[in-house]
Amino acid sequence: MASQGPREDEIGPGWTIGTMFCLAALAVAWAPFWGMEHIPFDALWGGADDSAADILWKMRIPRVLLSFLAGSALAAAGMVFQALFRNPLATPFTLGVASGASLGAAVCYHCGWSFALLGVSAVSISALLGAVLSIVLVYVLTSTGRQGSSTATMLLAGVAVSFTFSSLILFMQYISDPSKSFQMLRWVMGGMRNVVGFSDVLNVFAFVVSGCLIVWYLLLDLNLLSTGEDFAFTRGVNVNQAKAMLFFAVSLMVGAVVAVCGPIGFVGLMAPHICRLLIGPDHRLLYPAALLFGGVLLVVCDTISRIILAPTELPVGILTALLGGPFFLWLLLARRRDLGVF
Amino acid sequence: MRNLNTNVVLEARKFSCRIAGKPVLREITLQIRRGEYVSIVGPNGAGKTTLLRAFDRMLTGEISGELDICGMSWEEWKQSDLAKLAALVPQADSRVIPFTVEQFLLMCRYPYMSPFATVNPNDRKVVHEAMVGTGTTPFAKRRLDTLSSGERQKVYIAAALAQGAHIWLLDEPTTFLDYHHQADILSLIALANKEFDVTVVAVTHDLNHAVLESDRIIALREGKLVFYGTPDLIMKPDTLKRVYGDSMVLVDHPKADLPMIVPRMTPEQDKELAKWRAKAREKMK
C-alpha cells in the first residue's frame, strides 16, 4: 500500500534541504584537509609550510570544488532525464553522452595528441566534441523522423548510439599499444586526479551554472512533463521547446563534466532517487536537494578514494558504484512506500 | 433543446491531417458554438481522437485546411494562452503519477504562474473550489496512482476546472468505469455544461449515451465527416448505416423519446444462439 501523503511526524522538506545544505558546506570545508598528506588548517593563509599551502590551493581545493560541481551536475541531469523519459533507469548518460566523450578521449589517446587550448587539455576538448557529437546525432536521428521526436525513440536511439560508440572504443583499445590502451581504460573509469589549479574548475563551472539556470527556469514544466507529455501540453507547456532546451542544457553540462572527470557512474542514477525518497516528486524541492546531495556524495566518495588505497588512489567511479549500489538497494527494500518512481 | 447562441468557439474549414502519408482526417468542415455539448462518435480508427486533440493544437503529421480556436488560427495560439481556455481530459488510464491530488491540481495552474513564483492564495482557492465541485476533497492528500479509475477521472476533470478552461475536450471519459461512476462523471460534465456554460466536446463509443446528453453529434468514418447534426437526426437507419455499416439496429428506448441502438444479429446467428442456450439449459438440469 502506498502512502496517504506526508505523515505529520515526518520531517518537512525544508528541514531536509537545510540539513543537506549544512552537510554540503561541511563536506566542502573539511574535504581539502584530508588525503595522503595531512594539511594543517593554517595552510589556508600561507602557514608555516609552503608545500602544504601549495597542495591545498593547487590541488585539494580545486579538486573538491570540481567534485562538488560534477556531482551536482550529474545528479541534476539524472533528475531531468528520469522525469523527461518517465523512466527510473534513465541516467545522465542515457543519450550517449558518456560513450561519445569516451570515444573522443580514446581517439585523442590513440593519436597521442597533447596540445592545450586556453588551458584545456586535448583530451578534454576531444571528449567534449565526442559528447556533443553523440547528443547531436541522437537528436537529429530522432527528430527528423516522420512522427517527430518521441521520448521513447530518443531513449532507444541513445542506447543504440552508446553501444555503437562503446564497441568503437573497444576497437580503439584493441588496435592501440598497451600503454595507450591503459590510459583509455583509466579515463573510462573516471576521476578527478588530473586537476591542477582552477582552470578546469572554472570551465566546468561556466557550463554547469548555465545548465542549472536553464533547468531551474523550467522546473514547473518538468513537473508537468513528469506526469506525461499530453498532460504537460494541455496545461500549456510548450513541450517540444521545453524538451529541446532541457536535452541540450543538460547534455552540454554533463558533456563538460565528463570531458574533465571522465564518466562517473551511479551518482546521476542514485542521487535523484534518494532525494525523491526523502523529499517527494515536486521538482521545485527535489532540484536543490539533488544538487546538494549529488555534490556531497561525489566529494565524500572522492575523498575516500584518495585515502583508502594511499599512496595510490582508487578510481572514484568504482567507489560510487560500490557504495551506491547497496545503499540504493537498502533504500528500496527498507522503505517500500512512496517510491516516487514513474 | 437549448437555445444555442452563435458564439463559435471551434471552427474547422476543409481541415485535413495526414500521419505518415495516411490520411487520418479528410476535409473536415464544422463549427462548434460556445456552451454546446458535442459528442464525437464513429468506429475505431475513424479519427475521433485526432480531431479532439486538434482542438487543443496537439497535431502531428501534415496539416492542410484551417482550424480556428476562439476566432484565431491554431497556428497563432501560444499554448500557455490556449490552456486558459481549453483543456484535454484524457481517459482514466493507469499511468503512474507520483503526485498527490492536491499537488497535481496546483500544477494545473501552470498557465497563470511565472517560472519562479510560488503558489499564491488565489491558486489555492481555485484548486480548493475545483476539488469541492468535483467531490475530490476526500482524497486530496492521496497519491494519484493509488486512486481508482473513477476517482482518477474526477481528478482529471478537476484539473480542467482548476486550469480555468471553459472548453473541455474529453477523450472517452467513461471508459474503464463501472455504471455508478459512469453516471457520476456524466452528471458532473452535464452540470458544468448546463450551469457554467462549459463547451463540451467528448469522444465516445456509447452512442446511446451521446444522443441523450448531447446538443449535437459529430460522426466520423475513415477520417470523413459523415454526419453533423442534432441527435434525433442521427438515430435513423440510413444515417447509422453510413457511420457503422450494417451492424446495428434501432429499438425503442423505454423512457426517452429517442430510439437506441443495439448490435444486429443475422437470422443464422439468432438460431445459433438459441441452440446454445438450449444446450446450456439442459446442462443446468
pLDDT reported for residue A222: 93
Over residues A276-282, mean pLDDT: 86
Segment (H or E) for A69: helix A61-85
- Judged by DSSP in three states, A149 sits in coil
Cross-chain CB nearest to B146 (options A2, A6, A220): A2
Tell which wins on pLDDT, A116 or A300: A300
pLDDT at residue A136 is higher than 70? yes
The shortest C-alpha distance from A237 to chain B (Å) reads 6
Q: Which residues of chain B have pLDDT under 50?
A: 1-5
Predicted confidence band at A118 (pLDDT cuts at 50, 70, 90)?
low
Over residues A145-171, mean pLDDT: 79
pLDDT at residue A29 is higher than 60? yes
Architecture of domain A13-334: Orthogonal Bundle (1.10)
Tell which wins on pLDDT, A308 or B265: A308
Predicted confidence band at A266 (pLDDT cuts at 50, 70, 90)?
confident
B61 → chain A, closest CA residue: A147
Cβ-in-10-Å burial (0-12, 13-18, 19+) of B2 comes to exposed
CB contact under 8 A, B79 and A340: no
Q: How many CB atoms lie within 10 A of CB B43?
A: 15
The separation between the first and the last C-alpha atoms of chain B, rounded to the nearest angstrom, is: 53
Domain definitions of chain A by residue range: 13-334
pLDDT reported for residue B214: 93
Q: Which chain B residues have a beta carbon less than 8 Å from that of A235?
A: 83, 87, 107-108, 110-111, 159, 163
Largest CA distance in chain A: 69
Give the mean pLDDT of chain A: 82
Cβ-in-10-Å burial (0-12, 13-18, 19+) of A87 comes to middle
pLDDT reported for residue B238: 86
Predicted confidence band at A10 (pLDDT cuts at 50, 70, 90)?
very low
What ipTM, to 2 d.p.? Answer: 0.86
pLDDT digits (tens, 9 = 90+) for A320-342: 888 777 877 776 676 555 555 55
CB contact under 8 A, B58 and A236: no
Interface probe for B, chosen from A235, A282, A287, A339 (most Cβ of B below 10 Å), is A235
Tell which wins on pLDDT, A16 or B27: B27
Cross-chain CB nearest to A228 (options B95, B143, B163): B95
The shortest C-alpha distance from B194 to chain A (Å) reads 23
Tell which wins on pLDDT, B129 or A39: B129
Cross-chain CB nearest to A224 (options B58, B95, B110): B110
CB A209 within 8 A of CB A131: no
Which of A213, A104, A102, A90 lies closest to A159, judged by CA?
A: A90
CA angle (A103 as vertex; A101, A106 as ends), nearest 5: 110
Which of A88, A94, A23, A12 lies closest to A279, judged by CA?
A: A12
pLDDT reported for residue B186: 92
pLDDT reported for residue A4: 39
Dihedral of CA atoms B183, B184, B189, B190 in degrees, nearest 10, equals 60
Predicted confidence band at A7 (pLDDT cuts at 50, 70, 90)?
very low
Cβ-in-10-Å burial (0-12, 13-18, 19+) of A292 comes to buried
pLDDT reported for residue B88: 94
Write the DSSP assignment of A238-278 as a string of letters.
-HHHHHHHHHHHHHHHHHHHHHHH----SHHHHHHHHHHHH
Q: Which chain B residues have a beta carbon less than 8 Å from that of A217?
A: 115-116
